[in-house]
Structure 1
Amino acid sequence: MLSRRQFLAAGAGVLPAVVLGATAGRALASPTAISAMVEASGVAPAALAGFDNVLRSYVAERGISCAQLAITKNGRLVLARGYRYAAGGTAVPAVSPTSLFRIASLSKHVTAAAVLRLAQDGLLGLDAPVAPLLGLSTAADPRLANVTVRRLLQHTGGWDRDVSGDYLYLDHTIASTLGVPLPISQDHIIQYASRRPLDFAPGTRYAYSNYGYLLLGRIVEKVSGRSYESYVNEKLLAPVGVTRMRLGRTLRAEAAPTEVVYESQYTSRTVTDPSGAVVPTPYGGFSMANRGPGGGWLASAVDLARFARVFDAAGPVLNATSIAGMFAKPEIGVTESGSWYGAGWWVRQVTGHLNTWHDGSLPGTYTYLARLQNGFTYAALFNRREETGSLDFHVLSPQINAEIGKVTTWPTTDLFSNYL
């Protein structure tokens, strides 16, 4: 997850930035050499070869073993690629355009869309207070009564992870405080958080909150009367033909078919059992189940590009009012750079269009999705995130933006039918 400052920098240009790129001072290999090092699957039309070369170079230079890129133009899928780079003969499973990746916080716009759909159907008010809706006590902080659904959507609910920590990463602390064994559940996280004061008055400022989106997932379940995942599948994904997306699991042994392998230099104490064992951080250092609504989905870049069309115009999932609600300015206004956090999206007004974007980050995962002017949308997924500064997750967007300007004729075919 990018910091707020990094997000603002990402949105400072005409096109918001995807945060990837070449290491400063490192000479690029020739396109021929890159092609020999990186195995690519899927379709990259000749007119869009520049985008393909950017991703190939990035992957090869940094030794990222699994990646994807999907691009749509005016709602048509025009590029769909999976990339595999196996350095030093390392065995890496093939990556197709439909291989599944943990998408981390790109899950948030899915949850936000579910909430807006409930409101659209007259089942939920966006200004409804959250405490009575979920049966939360306000004894620890009476200001909890002022937390509304809308404030959860826009990260103005009152929780600041820079002050009190991210409750979704405090498994050991929560288990110890509550006197319960690992693994803890979402119920334990809510119980722990409800005993603590808020970090600021709701509605007064922005602070990114994974916990807020956990609560939104519980609201979806409470109001719909069904599991969060089943509601999203029926009301959001199935109507637009998204069939592969699902909630991820924590352990490697529980991985979904076609799910990539995640890489990280770090190890952590397991949160899946009380043994105290040290495990690779992506596989037991945090709980995927607890991340569900705010960071737990699996998807391919093609799936994300397909679902992104939901926000282009009124359709079977969201009407025009709901779409406007997704991108509405919060009560605190816009940032100094003119962007704002809507509902699961960062937003910037450009001439005649709203650019919207978000990234996602977990140990072993980095993802980015952007909807830009001129009908251009892209999703880029990786099985590593920046941990030591070597990946430079902050400079790819100038390369992507430059390639947009080089395309003289966009393909007119639509590849979505290839990836049902």
Structure 2
Amino acid sequence: MKRRDVLKAGLAAPIGLAVAGRPATAAAAEAWEVVKARGNVPPALVEFDRAMKKYMYEREISAGQLAIAREGRLVFTRAYTWSTARKPVPAVTPTSLFRVASLSKHITATAVLRLAQDGELDLGAPVTEYLDLRPMPGRQADPRLANVTLWRLLQHSGGWDRDISDDPATIERKIAETLGKGLPNDHADVMTYMTGLPLDFTPGSRFAYSNYGYNLLGRVIEAVTRQSYQGYVAARLLAPLRITRMRSGRTLKAETPGEVPYESSLTAKTVLDDSGTEVPFPYGGFNMANKDASGGWVASAMDLVRFERIFDLPAATGLLDPRSISRAHARPEWGTFSSGSWYGAGWYVRELSGGYNTWHHGGMAGTSTFLGRRYDGVTYAALFNRRDEEGGASDFGAIEPLLYGISAGIGTWPSVDYGSLYF
């Protein structure tokens, strides 16, 4: 099964604790303990702690975090470090920061839904009503841009397919060469380049995951609010939740204080200037500033589950009303995946008799993340400082069924709330 098909299948029924890797022998269990943990875990949830250590050991991951909330209460927050003499890693804490990659999309979608709730934009309006999208001289814009609505951008049906025309985040050098400009690119450069390309399909007719579509939504937020994208999100969504650590990510290692080290075997020519210098992929192979609304946030796992209080405790937070939350779960016009799930607004969604399961994965060089919300009020976020670059049995997507299965086996959830320890 292709990875994107796995993502679409998503939070399915509990499937137990099977994990690819070494057999569960006593010797292996002792080996897993080289992964050291810090933070808070009640006795009833120790299985999550054990599973994270096994998961990281089997995949040679050096830094990770897991946070779990139940009905808005932070019931588990742990940080994991596997440091050796050969590869020393600073101790990870529950407040250490990770690039969260595409988990950023539901943050952007929440901001758009809030602006629609406040009457500041119309989800049914075309993106061209808010942005002046013009191609470079000598090229023509696709007339179907007039049919690319904000709804379609939220649900990945705007008309761009990265398997056909490439993701602009992966061709930054090509964009600069085409426009005849030096590196780095900015959002305006990317929009100029992409507006000069034909759409890959009729807007609204099907699903194609699009980072570019979410970056356009970030620019819409800026156009409507006359604030920076990060500024609006921080003021209107993060501050009311008392989330202070989350921020837009930066590219260079020297610019990432408080963040874990991002590990990757890949290198690339820097996209931050025209020098052609070969750099570690996480630190210059892409420009974090251009990923902001699609994959640019930096956060801890507990920051993310605290953000989910918007959905877990909507009446208490007062940030999204019932109509807006229903919009986050709305079925798109293109239908559903073969699994019966669909992409709503920033979330993959599956409807169950007891409610909705919603989830998202994130990944870039040096980062692998997962965020899930079960229908029964359990929310969890798992963050790691390395992405699977080989695939196969070690696919990092295995964290999803692992966490789901353990959650399904918890008979009585603890009544603790560690949230006040980490403001």
Q: Give TM-score, length-normalised by structure 1.
A: 0.95
Q: 1:323-369: per-residue Cα shift (whole Å, max 9, x none)?
A: 11111111112112110100100000011211000010010000000
Instruction: Note closer, same or farther for the CA distance 1:128–1:380 as it changes in structure 2 (3 Å cut).
Output: same
2:302 is matched with 302
The CA distance in 2 between the partners of 1:242 and 1:95, in whole Å, is 19
Instruction: Note closer, same or farther for the CA distance 1:134–1:182 as it changes in structure 2 (3 Å cut).
Output: same
Kept after mapping to 1: 8 A contact 2:19/2:402: no
1:344 is matched with 346
Structural mapping, 1:93-242, within 5 Å: 93-137=90-134, 139-242=140-243
The CA distance in 1 between the partners of 2:175 and 2:398, in whole Å, is 37
Instruction: Note closer, same or farther for the CA distance 1:28–1:229 as it changes in structure 2 (3 Å cut).
Output: farther
2:35 is matched with 38
Kept after mapping to 1: 8 A contact 2:328/2:345: yes
Kept after mapping to 2: 8 A contact 1:21/1:393: no
Q: 1:10-35: per-residue Cα shift (whole Å, max 9, x none)?
A: 34x22599xx9733455556586246
Shift, 1:240, TM fit? 1.1
- Is residue 330 of structure 1 aligned with residue 327 of structure 2? no
Kept after mapping to 1: 8 A contact 2:33/2:53: no
Kept after mapping to 1: 8 A contact 2:250/2:289: yes
Structural mapping, 1:38-77, within 5 Å: 38-77=35-74
Shift, 1:373, TM fit? 2.0
**Deviates further, 327-336 or 88-97:** 88-97
**Deviates further, 312-321 or 66-75:** 312-321
The CA distance in 2 between the partners of 1:405 and 1:284, in whole Å, is 41
**Deviates further, 80-89 or 151-160:** 80-89
Q: Which amino acid counterpart does residue 321 of structure 1 have in structure 2?
A: R
Shift, 1:401, TM fit? 3.1
Instruction: Note closer, same or farther for the CA distance 1:32–1:4 as it changes in structure 2 (3 Å cut).
Output: closer
Q: Which amino acid counterpart does residue 233 of structure 1 have in structure 2?
A: A
**Deviates further, 157-166 or 397-406:** 397-406
Shift, 1:145, TM fit? 0.7
- Is residue 401 of structure 1 aligned with residue 404 of structure 2? yes
Percentage of identical aligned residues: 52
Shift, 1:87, TM fit? 3.4
1:288 is matched with 288
1:357 alignment partner, SS class: strand
Q: 1:169-212: per-residue Cα shift (whole Å, max 9, x none)?
A: 11110010000001111110000001111000101000000000
The CA distance in 2 between the partners of 1:157 and 1:308, in whole Å, is 26
2:6 is matched with 6
Structural mapping, 1:79-90, within 5 Å: 79-90=76-87
The CA distance in 2 between the partners of 1:298 and 1:292, in whole Å, is 10
Return the match for 1:370 from 366, 369, 372: 372
Shift, 1:89, TM fit? 4.3
The CA distance in 2 between the partners of 1:287 and 1:118, in whole Å, is 27
Kept after mapping to 2: 8 A contact 1:68/1:382: yes
Kept after mapping to 2: 8 A contact 1:15/1:372: no
Kept after mapping to 2: 8 A contact 1:34/1:56: no
The CA distance in 2 between the partners of 1:268 and 1:136, in whole Å, is 30
Q: 1:57-116: per-residue Cα shift (whole Å, max 9, x none)?
A: 111222211000001112111100000001344221111111000000000000001111
The CA distance in 2 between the partners of 1:173 and 1:117, in whole Å, is 35
Instruction: Note closer, same or farther for the CA distance 1:226–1:377 as it changes in structure 2 (3 Å cut).
Output: same
Shift, 1:309, TM fit? 1.3
The CA distance in 2 between the partners of 1:172 and 1:71, in whole Å, is 40
The CA distance in 2 between the partners of 1:141 and 1:397, in whole Å, is 39
Instruction: Note closer, same or farther for the CA distance 1:69–1:30 as it changes in structure 2 (3 Å cut).
Output: farther
The CA distance in 2 between the partners of 1:274 and 1:28, in whole Å, is 52
Kept after mapping to 1: 8 A contact 2:41/2:77: yes
Kept after mapping to 2: 8 A contact 1:282/1:363: yes
Instruction: Note closer, same or farther for the CA distance 1:87–1:203 as it changes in structure 2 (3 Å cut).
Output: same
The CA distance in 2 between the partners of 1:27 and 1:119, in whole Å, is 51
**Deviates further, 23-32 or 368-377:** 23-32
- Is residue 412 of structure 1 aligned with residue 415 of structure 2? yes
The CA distance in 1 between the partners of 2:245 and 2:402, in whole Å, is 30
Q: What are structure 2's unaligned runs of at least 5 residues? A: none
